[in-house]
Every structure is written in C-alpha cells, then in structure tokens.
Structure 1
C-alpha cells in the first residue's frame, strides 16, 4: 500500500514537471507586431514636419486619436521566443497648422545588430560564373 502511494506521488510529480519542461523544448519564433520602429528613423523625426513627411519616414500610424486627428500613435510590440513581450510607443502630436509640435518615445529602442550579417564574399574575387565553372570542372 505504501509503495503504491509513493509511486503515485512520483508519477504525478514527473508528469507535472514534464509539462513545463516540454514547453521549453518547443521552438517559438520571434513575433514582431505593429509599426516596426528603428532608432535611425525616429532620430530623423523633427518638429515642423508635415504629416506626409512623417508618414513617409515612419509609415502609416497604428492608431490615431479618435477625438482629434492631431495625435498619431506608432506602437511596436516584439516578443522573442519565451521572453516577455516588449512594447514601444511613439506618440506624434501635430499643431493646428498641421506640423509636428512634439513627439515622445516611451522608452529607448534596441540597437540593430547588423554586424552578425556579412555579405557573401567569393574567394580570390572571382566572378560567380568562374566559381561555378571551377566547381563543376572534373579535371
């Protein structure tokens, strides 16, 4: 009788921990949603820009203020794998003339890490055609 209760407790504990371990073994992709904001683009935003210039720079806003069309919201939500989602909100306010009066980013954007991506370089500066001829030559 005592052996059955120990085995039951052991079975329940193993099954409970295996469920939580199983979730970590499954690959989850990065999910970006909303307006993709880059630090370089936000740095180019200036007071006095027209709505067309802002839209050309940042794209169509995710939200506009329903009570006045003078406030645009650019919302960017990113969830990487099993990490908590991170939300960045850029608020752009326009004055009565229709130019940017002020803008506010709720927190700094992450810096791009393009250093890991390098262009493909051919050996000895050969053309791709010469490289293919060398690859398929049998001599």
Structure 2
C-alpha cells in the first residue's frame, strides 16, 4: 500500500504544480512587458538598399549587423525578435551578401522595392510676424528707475483733431 501511495502523491503534486504554472501565465490583468531584441528592421530601411552599395552605405542605413560570421565574411545577418506582451514571438531575419565592398544580394523576410525611395519631409516652417514694440523690455525697465536712456526715447506724437484742422 505504501508503495502505491507515494508515486500517486508525487504524480498528483506534479499535476497540481503544472496546473498552477499555466494559470499564472494566463491570468487576466497581469502586465507582461514587450520584449524586443536584435536590430530593428523595417521595410523602409530595406527599400533604401540598392545593388552595388558600399558597406559603409549599408552600415549607415541598416546599422551594425547582429552577426558577422568569420566563416562567411561575405554575409551580414540582421535579426529582430519581438514578443509583445507575452504573446507569441515574431522573428524577422535578413541576410545581406557582399562581393568585396559592394552589396550584391539580399535574402530573408524582407525584399527591397524597385520603386525609387521618396522620403517624406518632417520639417515644418513657422513664419512669426514681427511685433511692433514702442520700447524694448530693457527700455521699459530702465524707464522705471529713471535711467540714462529713459529721457532719450521719443514719445509718440499725439495728433489732436484741432491741431490737424488749423494747419
């Protein structure tokens, strides 16, 4: 009897522990962080790649490769892995092939577009109208204390209607 109770107790406790694990991972309202790893790759970056680009130009567009294999020096590998909020992991991969210093091929989850790259301008121009000030802030402050420049500021001429008629 003792020989059958112990294995049953171990099996029951293991079953309960695995049930707790699945409950804890699927609890509603529990926050799970987004996990992003590797080189951020998007289609706009890959669309900028053109045949016969130099390695420096590719570095400028794509950034440093995740993996530069010593056995395959012609190939640069870029990997990007994202796991949003505990969901299934999504992994994207692209390999760039070089002949000497020039880009000759692209392989992976992205394909470069044949259309010319048109980058949207993010610059905005703001025209600020000029303000007509009687006096600057400094002139106003020194005028309160009777500074040297306070007497040199010409006052605005006030034209009275009676003076305009007599002239």
Give a deviation string over 1:7-55, Cα, whole Å, max 9, x none. Answer: xxxxx88876554222222321111100000111111111111000000
Report the TM-score, using the length of structure 1 for normalisation.
Answer: 0.60
Measured in 2, the distance between the counterparts of 1:99 and 1:16 equals 53
Q: Secondary structure at the match of 1:67?
A: coil
Name the counterpart of 2:47. 43
8 Å Cα contact 2:77-2:96 kept in structure 1: yes
Residue of structure 2 equivalent to 1:99: 102
The answer to whether the 8 A contact 2:81-2:92 is kept is yes
Unaligned runs of 5+ residues in structure 2 are: 1-12, 112-167
Pairwise mapping of residues 1-139 of structure 1 onto structure 2 (< 5 A)?
Answer: 17-25=19-27, 26-96=30-100, 98-106=101-109
CA RMSD between the two structures: 2.5
For residues 93 and 17 of structure 2, the distance between their equivalents in structure 1, rounded to whole angstroms, comes to: 41
Structure 1 unaligned segments of length 5 or more: list them. Answer: 1-11, 109-139
SS for the counterpart of 2:85 is: coil
Q: Normalization by structure 2: what TM-score?
A: 0.51
Query: Which entry has the higher C-alpha Rg, 1 or 2?
Result: 2
